[in-house]
Amino acid sequence: MKRHRVHKEKTDIAHSIDWNGLIPKHIAIMMDGNGRWATRRGLPRSAGHYAGMQTMRETISMCHKNGITSLTLYAFSTENWKRPKEEVDYIISLVVEFVQDATVQELNQNNIKVHFIGDISRFPEETQEAMHKVVKLTQANSGMAVYFAMNYGGKNDIVQAIKSYIEVNIEQNKDTSEISEAEFETFLYTGLNPAPDLLIRTSGEKRLSNFLLWQAAYSELWFTDVMWPDFNEQLLYESIRDYQQRKQRALDDITT
C-alpha cells in the first residue's frame, strides 16, 4: 500500500512539470545534512558522508536523465578544513574513491564532462592527480557538465579571479582599470558557465555558506528540510516544478 502511494506521488509531480517548458539549465546543490542524518540513526558522521556520496551519484544520474545541462555540487568548502582532521580525511578519501571507481567510467560513457572548482592545490598530491585524470578523461565530452566544488569558497573565487585578471592583462600589457562584469566573471572558477538557474540546499539550513556568491546573484533558491542522504528524484522534481511556477509568474507579471 505504502509503496503504491510513494510511486503515485512521484508520478504526479513528474507529470505536473511541463517538460517542454522552462527547465533550469544549471542546477547547483549544497549537499548538506550528512552528519545529522547519521547522528539521528546512531551512526558515526562518516556513515552520513558515505550515504551522501551514494545520493550524489544518483543525483548526477537523475539530472542527466532529465536533461539538465550543468550541475554544480558543493562537496567541500574552504571552511570545512576547520572540522576534525579525521572527518576531513574521510571526506577526501571518498572523493578519491569516487574519481577512481566505475562511476567515472559511467559518467564518461554518458558523455558527461567533469570539472573541479575551488583551490584544489591544497589537497594531497594523489588526490589532485586523481582529479586531473578524470577531468582529462572527460574533457572532450559534450553532454552535461558536472562541477564539483572542492575547497571552494565564494570569497576565494572572487579573489582568485581578480588575481588572474590582473595577471593576464599585465602579461598582455593591457589597461586593468576598466573591467566589465561580463568580462570579470569569465575569470571565476565557473568560467563561461557561471550562473545557476536554481540553487538547492538540503537539511533545513538557509544560508549561502560561502557558495557561488557572485554566480548566485539571480538564482532561484529552493530549500528542503530533508537531509542530503535522503534527497531523491521526487524532491528534484518538486524543486523544478517550483522553479517553473516562479518563472511563469515572473513572465505573467511582465506580460499583464
Annotated catalytic sites, by residue? Answer: 32, 80
The answer to whether residue 201 forms part of the interface with Mg ion (CB under 5 A) is no
Contacted entry of ligand IPE, Mg ion, none for residue 51, CB cut-off 5 to 8 Å set by kind: none
Contacted entry of ligand IPE, Mg ion, none for residue 75, CB cut-off 5 to 8 Å set by kind: ligand IPE
Three cell numbers written together for 91: 571526506
3-class SS of residue 54: helix
Q: Which is nearer to ligand IPE, 187 or 211 (CB)?
A: 211
Contact between 148 and 119 under an 8 Å Cβ cutoff? The reply is: no
CB of 118 to ligand IPE, least distance (A): 10
CA–CA dist 181, 104 (Å, integer) = 35
CA–CA dist 71, 231 (Å, integer) = 15
CA–CA dist 201, 196 (Å, integer) = 13
Binds ligand IPE (CB under 6 A): choice among 23, 24, 28, 34: 34
Of 7-66, binders to Mg ion (CB under 5 A) are 32
Q: Which is nearer to Mg ion, 32 or 220 (CB)?
A: 32
The answer to whether residue 76 forms part of the interface with ligand IPE (CB under 6 A) is yes
Q: Which is nearer to ligand IPE, 24 or 35 (CB)?
A: 35
Q: Which is nearer to ligand IPE, 76 or 187 (CB)?
A: 76
CB of 139 to ligand IPE, least distance (A): 25
Over its C-alpha atoms, the chain yields an Rg (Å, rounded) of: 19
Contacted entry of ligand IPE, Mg ion, none for residue 186, CB cut-off 5 to 8 Å set by kind: none
Helices (H), the chain: 2-15, 34-40, 45-65, 85-100, 102-109, 125-138, 154-171, 181-185, 233-255
CA–CA dist 93, 95 (Å, integer) = 5
Of 205-224, binders to ligand IPE (CB under 6 A) are 207, 209
CA–CA dist 38, 12 (Å, integer) = 30
Return residues touching ligand IPE (CB under 6 A).
30-36, 74-77, 79-80, 91, 203, 207, 209
Return residues touching Mg ion (CB under 5 A).
32
